[in-house]
Amino acid sequence: MAYIFDEPSRTFNEYLLVPGYSSSECIPERVSLKTPLVRYRKGEEPEISLSIPMVSAIMQSVSDDKMAVALATEGGMSFIFGSQSIESQAAMVRAVKDYKAGFVKSDCNLKPDMTLADVLELKEEYGHSTMPVTDDGTATGKLLGIVTGRDYRVSRMETTEKVADFMTPREHLVTAPADTSLKIANDIIWDHKLNCLPLVDEDDHLVNLVFRKDYDTHKENPLELLDDHKRYMVGAGINTRDYAERVPALVEAGADVLCIDSSEGYSEWQSRTISWIRDHYGDSVRVGAGNVVDAEGFRFLAEAGADFIKVGIGGGSICITREQKGIGRGQATAIIDVARARDEYFDETGIYVPICSDGGIVYDHHITLALAMGSDFVMLGRYFARFDESPTNKVNVNGTYMKEYWGEGSARARNWQRYDLGGSKKGLTFEEGVDSYVPYAGSLKDNVAATLAKVKSTMCNCGALTIPELKEKAKLTLVSSTSIVEGGAHDVLQKDKTPYVTNA
Ligand code: IMP
């Protein structure tokens, strides 16, 4: 007969944290959210840690190179989606590794025979007023001049006037060599009272632009996640089919960590993939695996050598797996069960394997609950899809701005490898995800700051200054359905009827 669990599986909404003693030392400014990303031995430091416990989902509609840079700037990590060609995924990884904060590749360039009308059109399209002029009109052509708003007056000039006749020519430009550091570039900007400094190579070809404002921004990110060469760190998704080709390309491109992206991780396909990586790279390539929802699944992947393990089946906002297949587990119960198994494994072997709560985070406080229940970090899709930095279109739906967000198991993404169970059959036979809109929410930076302010505040209520301390000290209680009603505004006539939206 089938095994029947004694307890129902539960979701985050069914739990509350009960405050503990907080001393006067326990204030949000002193909270550290640093957390391990990959396995480590007792007494040693993990090779990679996150500065904040947030990673972005391995999804087309969430994690591209732009998202990866924005999140690494705040101290988290993106996993670039794997449901694309090996070449384009590797190119995105490379773009993150090549990105240098403050060094801009010019996306809006002119040729000398273009006209003022072209300048105005480009300004309208890109919103930039600084445009380099190069011999071939590309971002890497020979630098011939620059056009800024100070070089023309629309009211006094014909729109047919040639760029060559009103640009600031090369001989009047202050430039610097391509390998100039940001600090030196900024000094030059200040000394010459510039707004923009072009960096050029030895043949006078344009390499980057440095703008005064970007240097200031750079200094504001003390938590940014950098590798030993001061490049942003980035993860990448892989699958259990083409790893022999995909993994080398991603490693070559500079991916800092990989993760097998699958709806079901308790499988021989995952252990084969990890073994292949260990055989070819030893421990020098780090790889997470998943998803699992119980202790057995955790132990299987821990013994297979996974560097971290993702937990969650069926709880994602765009997920219809539970409806389609009737499998999954309430996210809170899954985390509690797997965290217990992780701690037992640590006691037995002295190896700590971090776990990640993946999917189903709706409110900011769900992050705190996931951490208190034992997660080391959380993976979010819908949350990040709402921001400027996500790869999808911002659209106006009935007067409200929304961003598109679709599941990897939807017909739109067609990521059949994520749902693959082996055999010769390739392709998505039925959908496990939907195509949707989520409310547009602005910049990643502002939203992450607001979310983490809540997490830190709650941690202080529990008397915890670090995530390990939270796990140790947190007291959780189940809530009854009537106490859930008590938890919202009730028995008052609210003035503002706007639905209560946190990060939803
Ligand atoms: P969210 O943060 O609740 O939106 O959940 C994101 C997570 O849902 C991802 O990290 C995946 O684990 C999972 N996921 C992504 N696409 C699909 C899908 O099409 N069906 C089911 N789960 C999905």
Q: Is the pLDDT of residue 215 over 60?
A: no
Distance 319 CA to ligand 1 centre (A): 6
Q: Which of 210, 185, 201 is nearest to 141 (CA)?
A: 201
Known active-site residue 39: no
**In testing the pocket of ligand 1, which one of 81, 318, 410 has its CB within 8 Å of the most ligand atoms?**
318
Task: Average the pLDDT over 219-235 and give the result.
Answer: 91
Helix or strand holding residue 50 (H, E): strand 49-50
Task: Average the pLDDT over 139-160 and give the result.
Answer: 94
Q: Give CA–CA dist 460/19, Å, rounded.
A: 9
Q: Give CA–CA dist 99/93, Å, rounded.
A: 10
Q: Give CA–CA dist 414/406, Å, rounded.
A: 10
373: which 2 tokens?
């229940």
**In testing the pocket of ligand 1, which one of 59, 63, 362 has its CB within 8 Å of the most ligand atoms?**
59
Q: Is the pLDDT of residue 449 over 50?
A: yes
Known active-site residue 246: no
Contact 332, 12 (CB under 8 A): yes
User: For 335-364, how does the pLDDT look when each residue is reduced to its tens digit (9 = 90+)?
Assistant: 999 999 999 999 999 999 999 999 999 999
Query: Could you tell me which residues come within 8 angstroms of residue 57 by beta carbon, excluding any fewer than 6 positions away?
Result: 63, 79, 358, 359, 379, 380, 381, 384
436: which 2 tokens?
């949707």
Q: Where are the alpha helices (DSSP H) in 220-254?
A: 243-253
User: For 174-201, how does the pLDDT look when each residue is reduced to its tens digit (9 = 90+)?
Assistant: 999 999 988 899 999 999 999 999 999 9
pLDDT of 498 reads: 59
At residue 493's C-alpha, the angle toward residues 490 and 497, to 5°, is 95
Q: Give CA–CA dist 287/265, Å, rounded.
A: 13
53: which 2 tokens?
């416990």
CA–chain centroid gap for 37, Å, is 14
Give percent above pLDDT 70 in the chain: 97
Helix or strand holding residue 189 (H, E): helix 182-191
User: For 274-329, how does the pLDDT look when each residue is reduced to its tens digit (9 = 90+)?
Assistant: 999 999 999 999 999 999 999 999 999 999 999 999 999 999 998 888 888 899 99
Task: Average the pLDDT over 371-386 and give the result.
Answer: 98
pLDDT of 504 reads: 45
DSSP assignment of 373-405: TT-SEEEESHHHHTBTTSSSPEEEETTEEEEEE
| Ramachandran category for residue 423: left, alpha or beta (phi over 0 → left; psi -120 to 50 → alpha) | left
pLDDT band at 370; cut points 50, 70, 90: very high
User: For 8-54, how does the pLDDT look when each residue is reduced to its tens digit (9 = 90+)?
Assistant: 999 999 999 999 999 999 999 999 999 999 999 999 999 999 999 99
Beta strands in 248-297 (DSSP E): 257-260, 287-292
Q: Which of 65, 59, 357 is nearest to 231 (CA)?
A: 65
Q: For strand 54-56 and strand 400-406, is the pairing parallel, antiparallel, or unpaired?
A: unpaired
Contact 31, 459 (CB under 8 A): yes
User: What integer best gives the mean pLDDT of the chain?
Assistant: 93
pLDDT of 232 reads: 96
Distance 406 CA to ligand 1 centre (A): 9
Q: Of 117-131, 221-235, 381-395, which gets the smallest average pLDDT?
A: 117-131
178: which 2 tokens?
């391509």
Residue 40, strand partner residues = 352
pLDDT of 503 reads: 54
Distance 408 CA to ligand 1 centre (A): 7
| Residue 321 CA, closest ligand 1 atom number | 21
The single-letter code of the amino acid at 427 is G
Catalytic residue among 26, 196, 259, 319: 319
Give SS3 for 202: coil
Distance 437 CA to ligand 1 centre (A): 14
- Unique residue bearing structure tokens 């969430």: 62
Question: Cβ < 6 Å from ligand 1: which residues?
Answer: 57, 59, 312, 316-319, 321, 358-361, 379-383, 407-410, 432-433
Going by CA atoms, what residue is nearest to atom 8 of ligand 1? 316
pLDDT band at 400; cut points 50, 70, 90: very high
Q: Is the pLDDT of residue 217 over 60?
A: no
Distance 411 CA to ligand 1 centre (A): 14
Contact 444, 384 (CB under 8 A): yes
Length, in residues, of the chain: 504
For residues 292, 293, 295, 300, the Cα torsion angle rounded to the nearest 10 degrees is: -10
| Strands, sheet with 131-134, edge to edge from the N-terminal-most edge strand | 131-134, 143-147, 168-169
Q: Which of 118, 56, 121, 68 is nearest to 93 (CA)?
A: 68
Q: Give CA–CA dist 484/196, Å, rounded.
A: 55
Q: Which of 239, 280, 226, 205 is nearest to 71 (CA)?
A: 226
Question: Which tops the pLDDT comparison, 479 or 499?
Answer: 479
Q: Which of 310, 237, 224, 232 is nearest to 80 (CA)?
A: 237
pLDDT of 216 reads: 59
Going by CA atoms, what residue is nearest to atom 7 of ligand 1? 359
pLDDT of 350 reads: 98
Going by CA atoms, what residue is nearest to atom 22 of ligand 1? 319
pLDDT of 424 reads: 75
User: For 241-272, how does the pLDDT look when each residue is reduced to its tens digit (9 = 90+)?
Assistant: 999 999 999 999 999 999 999 999 999 999 99
Give SS3 for 436: strand
Q: Where are the alpha helices (DSSP H) in 305-375?
A: 321-325, 331-349, 364-372
Distance 313 CA to ligand 1 centre (A): 9
**In testing the pocket of ligand 1, which one of 319, 324, 335, 430 has its CB within 8 Å of the most ligand atoms?**
319
Q: Give CA–CA dist 423/86, Å, rounded.
A: 22
